[in-house]
Amino acid sequence: MVEFDVKKIELKWQKEWEKQKVFEIDVAKGKKKYSIVEMYPYPSGSGLHMGHAFNYTLGDILARYKTMQGYQVLHPMGFDSFGLPAENAAIKAKSHPALFTNAAIENFIRQQKALGLSYDWRRMVQSHDPAYYRWNQYLFLQLYKKGLIYRKHSPVNWCPDCETVLANEQVHQGMCWRHTATSIVIKNLEQWFIKTTQYADELLSGVEALDWPERIKIMQRNWIGKSEGSEVQFMIGNKSWPVFTTRIDTLFGVTFLVVSAQHAKLMDLVTPAQNKEVFAFLKTLKGTSEKTDFTLEKEGVFTGSYAQHPITGAQIPIWAGNFVVADYGSGMVMGVPAHDARDFAFAQKYRIPITHVVKPAHGTSSSTQAYLAEGILCDSGSFTGLTSADARKQITAFLQKKKLARFVTNYKLRDWLVSRQRYWGTPIPMVYCADCGIVPISENDLPVLLPEKVTFGEGNPLATNKAFVETKCPDCGKKARRETDTMDTFFDSSWYYLRYCDAQNTKKPFDGKQVDYWLHVDFYTGGAEHACMHLIYARFFTKALRDMKLLSFDEPFLKLFNQGMVHGEDGVVMSKSRGNTVDPLTMTQEYGADALRFFLVSMAGPDKDFVWSSTGLESIAGFISKVYARSTELRFGKSSPLVQHKVHKAILSVTEAIEQMKYNQATIILRETLSVFEGDVAKEDFALYVQLLAPFCPHLAEELWSRLGNKKLIATSPWPVADTSKITPAFDIAEQAVEKTVSDIMNVLRLVKEKTGDEGEQVYVYTLPKELAQYDAGALTKRVGKPVTVCAVNDPKKHDPQGKASKAKPGKPALFVE
């Protein structure tokens, strides 16, 4: 085995790429482009983890492949460098988040470069850089002007660990997305919101055409949660309360109303007589979390009030209940126990009458449970006999004339709460003036720099810096107070991919022409955890900016790819807390970047989870050295047609595998194809093989390419195109015949040994004359471990004491062992 210095070679080519600026790609009119973006990472102090390495390798293989195919490839990297971890680390260490962040980024870049990733570093984006976040502020102001940002007082999610409010998307099952053991507390606060709901319908309908994993699309649809129904007005006293329902066909079955126990106007409905009881009930409610446990028993208390049924005029008791969501619809629902499981349970518990108003078209419904399906209306006045679907239209239309109902579409999606009570983020460019109210900073005065000195632990950190807070009103010039909240870091990540197109622009966030050339992103990779956060926000931004005429397309990411998770050797997803992580940098140093890259994509399909295997990586490292060794052993001459056949077949298969994101299949072909290069082969054919290797093992490929005498880099060499005239199926058939013969020989040897105890000294293979060339005695000898003689059946000089040669058939030579 020829030893070669992996580290030295890798470093050498990394430097060469940098020197020749091969990955610094600019707009080239008329040339096709391809944009590959991997979700930019939060630069954590612990550096790159294996999941990053995997993700970036996937993108890099594609980027290098597309580059070789002649595309202008946009392949940038950036850092989501604002955020809580750095701030918290700084507080703990009595230091500054910027120090942590800059060190972490430096570390990330070093590791990324060590992996041989083909980034255009000129395009790097760092969200904590004023050169970037000033455009956050700029875009914030644009959205504000468009009426897409507003401030309102409402119940909001507050995480006691983060010490800030959170967006709905950041609350998972009532817990903070960062602190999975911390329950969210609902607080009534005034906050900044982005009107994502304005695009709810387009965000939903746009999902359809996206080339995204189905599950992500489903998650987005669920999150947006479109629901079509009717809003019915119930008179309560002299006031009218809207109630949303998708089943207005069951209106005649309403026997009670339930208002959310968390509803702000609950007490308006409570009569003095019921006051005590309601308060007692509210006390029993655990916490005030909006999202409660599904299994929680439905409980309620009578408020003392009654509503008037909009059609029958009947008096309907109003209850307060723990199972009604306060801020969906109007926070009040109609109780139709006969046709809703929850209402049924509630009515049974509190002995509320149950009135059946829908029956199945055929047969009868049970009285011991709610009949949930649609059917034919009964006991519903003039609507009796209608189907549920017809009744919904007619009842709504009937009430609409009296202004008591209308068709309504509701969404689960809420406006995005975007302000945060933390330091390490983009300052919101707003000023509060006693006279003028809320006043935006002038665009000319951007950026509003994040002040360096603040005191932590006393509420909003920015509020502790007097010089920052005290300012003048941009309108009237009088003393005014700056907003001390910062932006959710998801604001930063909502448009960073746009900035990649024109990262150094100091005049505007990005140039339209640049963006038009590069985007949309053709291939976006990242984890599935962003399905209902970043990926919703980014889509919203694209649509909002399009309507501001800053963009000319509707969707940022046409194709989304979710890479699998890397599991530790114990089978559990790699995590620091589990202690089963493997450090990419260490692996790179030990086995080389090429080996790590090749290994990462060889284990399974890129979208599948896979388990780390140290023996697997070692074996890949062995393969890498073998390729190198082989290259030094080759005598270049002329390739046999068989070699050409195999090389060109490999070109076809590897190309197809890459196109289909089946990198694991590509690695198998690459490993198998190496054995083709033995003895006398054409330099050009080996060169083709090295090119196929290039996206996966760029350093090794570059080294071999240059040793083959190429002056230019393999990275920019044209991707091989298979010459199908050199692919001859007969070779495959012949090869199968040889395989079969090998196994036949082994079989016979075994049998001979069993029967006679004889090991077998010499193997004779008798082929049909025209097949003689297919069987190479040397190769067979090596395969079976015994001397093999091959001759044609019509060879007069053949040694054939038992006359076995006559058994030879096409594709199946005769054998004799002695």
Partner RNA sequence: GCGAGGGUAGCAAAGCGGUCAAAUGCGAAAGACUCAAAAUCUUUUGGCUUAGUGCCUUCGGAGGUUCGAAUCCUCUCCCUCGCACCA
Q: Which of residues 35-64 bind RNA (CB under 7 A)?
A: none
DSSP annotation of 608: S
Shortest distance, position 756 Cβ to RNA, whole Å: 8
586-605 binders of RNA (CB under 7 A)? 603-605
Q: Would you report the helix, strand and coil content of the chain in percent, each value rounded to 5? A: 40, 20, 40
156-175 binders of RNA (CB under 7 A)? 172-173
Phi, psi of 302 (to 5 degrees): -70, 135
Label each residue of 403-460 as H, E or C. Answer: CCEEEEEECCCCCEECEECCCCCCECCEEEECCCEEEECCHHHCCCCCCCCCCCCCCC
Shortest distance, position 674 Cβ to RNA, whole Å: 9
Shortest distance, position 34 Cβ to RNA, whole Å: 24
CB-wise, 214 or 458, nearer to RNA? 214
* Structural contact between residues 498 and 509, judged by C-beta atoms closer than 8 angstroms: yes
CB-wise, 476 or 572, nearer to RNA? 572
DSSP sequence for 534-578: HHHHHHHHHHHHHHTTS-S-S-SBSBEEEPPPEE-TTSSBP-TTT
Whose CA is closest to 233, among 383, 68, 403, 372?
A: 403
Grouping H, G, I as helix, E, B as strand and the rest as coil, residue 327 is coil
CB-wise, 208 or 214, nearer to RNA? 214
User: What tokens were used for 232?
Assistant: 């019915």
Shortest distance, position 576 Cβ to RNA, whole Å: 18
**Distance in angstroms (rounded) separating the CA atoms of residues 454 and 98:** 13
All residues at 6 or more sequence positions from 244 whose CB lies less than 8 Å from its CB, including other chains: 229, 230, 231, 328, 329, 330, 333, 408, 410
Do the bridges between strand 332-335 and strand 256-260 make them parallel or antiparallel, or are there none, so unpaired?
antiparallel
Specify the stretch interacting with RNA by CB under 7 A; choose among 122-130, 270-278, 371-379, 746-754.
Answer: 746-754
In order of 236, 279, 311, 335, 395, the CA distances from 253 in angstroms are 18, 29, 11, 8, 13
Among 347, 448, 784, 793, binds RNA (CB under 7 A): 784
249-268 binders of RNA (CB under 7 A)? 260
CB-wise, 583 or 609, nearer to RNA? 609
227-246 binders of RNA (CB under 7 A)? 227, 229, 244-246
Shortest distance, position 85 Cβ to RNA, whole Å: 20
Buried b (16+ CB within 10 A) or exposed e, 657-685: bbeebbbbbbbebbbebbebbeeebbeeb
Specify the stretch interacting with RNA by CB under 7 A; choose among 57-65, 294-302, 474-482, 579-587.
Answer: 294-302
Among 94, 351, 466, 755, binds RNA (CB under 7 A): 755
Among 211, 293, 554, 570, binds RNA (CB under 7 A): 293
Query: 155 - beta bridge partners?
Result: 188
Shortest distance, position 791 Cβ to RNA, whole Å: 14
Whose CA is closest to 177, among 489, 483, 409?
A: 489
Binding mask 723-742 for RNA (x = CB under 7 A): ------------------xx
Phi, psi of 241 (to 5 degrees): -115, 125
Shortest distance, position 81 Cβ to RNA, whole Å: 25
Specify the stretch interacting with RNA by CB under 7 A; choose among 37-45, 303-311, 498-506, 806-814.
Answer: 806-814
Shortest distance, position 702 Cβ to RNA, whole Å: 24
Shortest distance, position 173 Cβ to RNA, whole Å: 5
CB-wise, 1 or 467, nearer to RNA? 1
CB-wise, 552 or 736, nearer to RNA? 736
Straight-line distance from the first to the last Cα atom of the chain, in angstroms, rounded to the nearest whole number:
36
CB-wise, 159 or 431, nearer to RNA? 159
Shortest distance, position 340 Cβ to RNA, whole Å: 6
Among 218, 280, 373, 476, binds RNA (CB under 7 A): 218
Shortest distance, position 215 Cβ to RNA, whole Å: 4
Count of alpha carbons within 13 Å of 443, Cβ hemisphere only?
13
CB-wise, 173 or 724, nearer to RNA? 173
- Binding-residue total with RNA (CB under 7 A): 86
CB-wise, 236 or 814, nearer to RNA? 814
610-669 binders of RNA (CB under 7 A)? 610-611, 613, 615-616, 619, 622, 626, 662, 664-665, 668
Shortest distance, position 812 Cβ to RNA, whole Å: 5
* Structural contact between residues 738 and 812, judged by C-beta atoms closer than 8 angstroms: no
Shortest distance, position 728 Cβ to RNA, whole Å: 16
480-539 binders of RNA (CB under 7 A)? 528, 531-532
311-370 binders of RNA (CB under 7 A)? 322-325, 328-329, 331, 333-334, 340, 342
CB-wise, 549 or 809, nearer to RNA? 809
Among 49, 52, 66, 247, binds RNA (CB under 7 A): 247
* Structural contact between residues 777 and 788, judged by C-beta atoms closer than 8 angstroms: yes
CB-wise, 294 or 466, nearer to RNA? 294
Grouping H, G, I as helix, E, B as strand and the rest as coil, residue 213 is coil
Query: 193 - beta bridge partners?
Result: 150, 417
Which residue is it, tokens 């000129």?
Answer: 122
CB-wise, 202 or 609, nearer to RNA? 609
CB-wise, 449 or 572, nearer to RNA? 572
In order of 71, 554, 566, 717, 809, the CA distances from 58 in angstroms are 17, 26, 13, 20, 48
**Distance in angstroms (rounded) separating the CA atoms of residues 431 and 753:** 94
Instruction: List the strands of the sheet with 560-562, edge to edge.
Output: 72-74, 33-38, 523-526, 560-562
CB-wise, 246 or 369, nearer to RNA? 246
User: What tokens were used for 580?
Assistant: 């089963």
Cα 271 off chain centre by: 51
187-216 binders of RNA (CB under 7 A)? 214-215
Shortest distance, position 147 Cβ to RNA, whole Å: 24
CB-wise, 298 or 597, nearer to RNA? 298
Among 7, 412, 546, 683, binds RNA (CB under 7 A): 412
CB-wise, 68 or 334, nearer to RNA? 334
451-480 binders of RNA (CB under 7 A)? none
172-191 binders of RNA (CB under 7 A)? 172-173
**Distance in angstroms (rounded) separating the CA atoms of residues 510 and 522:** 19
Query: 407 - beta bridge partners?
Result: 230
In order of 116, 690, 703, 704, the CA distances from 707 in angstroms are 20, 11, 6, 5
73-102 binders of RNA (CB under 7 A)? none
Specify the stretch interacting with RNA by CB under 7 A; choose among 139-147, 450-458, 514-522, 808-816.
Answer: 808-816
Measured from the Cβ of residue 164, the count of other Cβ atoms closer than 10 Å reads 21
